[in-house]
Structure 1
Amino acid sequence: MSTRLPAPLLDAALVGASLLDVWAHLDTSEPLRMVCALAAAFALLLRRHLPLLTFLLTLPAVLLSDAVIAALAALYTLASLTRRRALLAVCAVAFTFSDRTSWPSPDLDLSAPSTFIALAYTAATAAAPVFLGQLVQTRRDLSLRLAEISQARDHERQLTAQTVLAKERTTLAREMHDVVSHQVSLIAVRAGALQVGSRDAEVRQAAATIRRLSVQTLDELRHMVSVLRASGSRPTELVPQPTLADLQQLVDNSGIEAELRTDLSGSLPPPVQRAVYRTVQEALTNVRKHAPGASAAIRISQKGTNVRVTVTNTAPTRPALPLPSANHGLVGLRQRAELLGGTVTCGPTTDGGYQLCLQLPSDGTW
């Protein structure tokens, strides 16, 4: 059970703590410092949407007074939302020197050892919310990746179960066609021969009934075989199924910088559209997991009856998180492509990135 405070209540608590900090360190005889400190406290209401601007609005209060809670809260929020570590370092340094400088009469004697000790303590104070914010961001990213992995595993289990079911249906259809239908046909033939060859009226009537029922049973068996073969020809797909129209939303919500370009001469069969979507989805998931900070380029083209999909990402800019992996994603893509008569290839690029390529026939020959 989560005990996390609602966002509005947490923001109100931070503003209240900042106002108490202002009340403890300032008085009404210093109007400029009071205005800056109050502005810093109420600027925290913007911290979720404009974290950098919020921090900049709190700096004057640090520079002119000892009210620093608002600035530390803003620095923590910025660290939990941005991935620009150079920016965080600059903000921490700005906080450190602002806190150690007393304006409008600066008194920062760099020749005194005590000054450097005080700067070190202030720098440690600034580093604490930065590290805490980065830790929260990493925890949030890890939770998202684990949720994606869990969802992918559930999807894989469902596909595996459906593949087994499809194979069983195909086997059952073959047995019904080769054994049961053959035997029912023999019964119908023998009944017809008995109907023609017998002189007894009752026997001929019974043989006619057997022949009629055998023919009806044979028609029903053939219908059942056709249904089983239709459902067992390939693994039953999960619903609802995505199409190429959903690709742009997938790219926009991927959490990475990605560009999508399509060059298709016509509409594609639904199985091909699903294969293209799942390939792009798996590739973008791998970029997020294994190449943090990388950008991706997605190209979908059609030449004749062949569809080609390539997803190429640049080299990562940050070390990847050590996430658990079943290594079944690419295997599943290859199996799906093989069912449709296509291929999947992948490998590193010369610039340190990675490329995944899918080729499928689009004419339904599979």
Structure 2
Amino acid sequence: MSGARGAWWARIPEPVLDAVVVVVAVVDVLINLDDTSGPAWAMATLACAALIVRRRFPLPVFLLTLPASLMLDIVFAPFAALFTLSERSRDRRLLVTCALLFAVASATPWPLDDLSSHERAWTLVYFFYTLATAAAPVLLGQLVQARRDLARRLVEIEEAREHERLLHSQAVLARERAQLAREMHDVVSHQVSLIAVQAGALQVAAKDPDFREGARTIRSLSVDTLDELRHMVTLLRASGGRSTELTPQPTLADLHKLVTTSGIDAELTGELPPDVSSTAQRTIYRTVQEALTNVRKHAPGATATAHLWHDGDAFGVTVTNTPPARPSLPLPGSRQGLIGLKERAELLDGTFASGPTGDGGYEVRLRIPNRAG
């Protein structure tokens, strides 16, 4: 994307570029104006003026250039309109139709009259020549559109990689904290406990008051140190346990923050009963988290809805996303995330299903029976 922004033409203000396009179109019209009738003048003026709003209304502006193409031998105004339409439209059939319309308008003689067989043959030849020429703005517009989509997708991929690197560093830090907590609990705490026990025994057995006071001080300091160690171990485990590497014991209360910070246009609807078990809450949280991650990776520009539901027999969540708003790159995926969600659901005697929807989107559905909640 940096390359697209760094191109010199991308730094030209749009009003200046529009003015240049209109001026060139006017010059093209003036060059091809001889003894032209009033309607031809009017159509040429309308075609040149319409180019000012070609970015907002590309298809109507292109259609407005066709009468001028029929009456005059001009190419720049319809080409500029056709390029803008090709840059913004993803409908290939529409672009082919517009190219055919331009070729027909340019090849048809004006004023319309009876043609000899020789002139009809040359008209047909000119039609195919013009049609081949019209392919240039169409292909160039599609190339610019694909380049813009690719640049945007590369930025999204880089953001996703940065997010993954952050999560990986957090996971590594969490494992180190968990290992440190185990070492402190198994080794250091054990040794300090032995010191406290031995100091207590010396305090009881000592005859000398000074010696007894020294043993009491050692025992007191050892007990205080044990309390500090236990507090530190608790803190390390809270931030480094396996179940809390990314989000410490996520619950339904954390779903709203997960949805709003997912990086996509998503919303959370519905609610669940208040007596859902903590295990089921974590499973629902991980399901929504994995589904939103997949939307971000594989459906750029799509919107998503996470709907919490419950009935008499079961409860769960359904995450649905719309079709992608722009093409996505074919990224490799192991589908281990969906397999893990299915295994989580089976541990609760539930079911997990995922698949495409009828409108081109995707749906993930988790169902957990009430007896497991």
Which residue in the other structure is 2:143 paired with? 135
TM-aligned CA distance change 1:108 to 1:52, over 3 Å = farther
TM-score by length of 1: 0.78
Name the CA distance, whole Å, in 2 between partners of 1:40 and 1:163.
Answer: 61
- Deviations, residues 19-38 of structure 1 (Å, cap 9, x unaligned): 11122122686332222212
Mapping 1:16-55, distance limit 5 Å: 16-26=23-33, 30-55=37-62
1:146 pairs with 2:154: yes
Q: Equivalents in 1 of 2:261, 2:218: separation in Å?
A: 58
Structure 1 segment 64-79 matched on structure 2, within 5 A: 64-79=71-86
Alignment partner, residue 336 of structure 2? 331
The CA deviation at 1:218 is: 0.8
Structure 1 segments unaligned to the other structure (5+ residues): 253-259, 290-294
Give the match for residue 243 of structure 1.
257
Q: Which of 1, 12, 15 is 2:19 aligned to? A: 12
Q: Provide the residue aligned with 1:309 in structure 2.
A: 318
Match of 2:298 in 1: 286
User: Is the 1:346–1:355 Cα contact (8 Å) retained in structure 2?
Assistant: no
Q: Which runs of 5+ in 2 are unaligned?
A: 1-5, 249-253
Post-superposition shift, 1:276? 1.3
**Is 1:62 aligned to residue 89 of structure 2?**
no
The equivalent of 1:222 in structure 2 is: 230
Are residue 276 (structure 1) and residue 288 (structure 2) matched?
yes
Report the equivalent of 1:126.
134
359, 363, 366: which one aligns with 2:366: 359
Shift of 1:229: 0.9
Closer, same or farther: CA 247–58 of 1 in aligned 2, 3 Å: farther
Q: Distance in 1 between matches of 2:43 and 2:56?
A: 21
- Indicate the residue corresponding to 1:194 in structure 2: 202
Give the aligned residue type for 1:235: E
Q: Is the 8 A contact 1:27 1:34 kept in 2?
A: no
Give the Cα–Cα distance (whole angstroms) in 2 for the partners of residues 202 and 247 of structure 1.
63
Structure 1 position 220, deviation (Å): 0.8
Q: Deviations over 1:59-81 (max 9, x none)?
A: 22112212221111111111111
* 1:144 shift after superposition: 2.4
Single out whichever of 335-344 and 43-52 deviates more from structure 2.
Answer: 335-344
How many Å separate the matches in 2 of 1:166 and 1:250? 27
Equivalent-residue separation in structure 2 for 1:348 and 1:197 (angstroms): 75
How big is the shift at 1:108? 6.0
Aligned to 2:122: 114
Per-residue deviation, residues 271-316 of structure 1 (Å, max 9, x unmatched): 9557515513413642459xxxxx99866343378533354788x9
Q: 1:361 & 1:158 partners in 2: Cα distance?
A: 32
- Match of residue 204 from structure 1: 212
- Structure 1 vs Structure 2: percent identity of aligned residues? 41
Question: Given that residues 322 and 361 in structure 2 are in contact (C-alpha distance below 8 angstroms), is that contact kept between their aligned partners in structure 1?
Answer: yes
Compute the displacement of 1:158 (Å).
Answer: 1.9
What is the alpha-carbon distance in structure 2 between the residues aligned to residue 230 and residue 180 of structure 1?
A: 19
Q: Which residue in the other structure is 2:173 paired with?
A: 165
Question: Match of 2:331, as an amino acid?
Answer: S
In structure 1, the residue matched to 2:251 is none
> For the Cα contact (< 8 Å) 1:185–1:214, is it kept in 2?
yes
How many residues of Structure 1 are paired with residues of Structure 2 in the alignment? 347
TM-score, length-scaled by structure 2: 0.76
Stretch of structure 1 that moved more, 34-43 or 116-125: 34-43
TM-aligned CA deviation for residue 122 of structure 1? 0.7
Q: Whole-Å Cα distance in 2 between the matches of residues 13 and 82 of structure 1?
A: 23
Other-structure match for 1:300? 307
Q: Is the 8 A contact 2:265 2:304 kept in 1?
A: no
> Cα 1:79–1:350, aligned 2, differ >3 Å: closer, same or farther?
closer
Instruction: Confirm or deny: 8 A CA contact 2:284 2:317 kept in the other structure.
Output: no
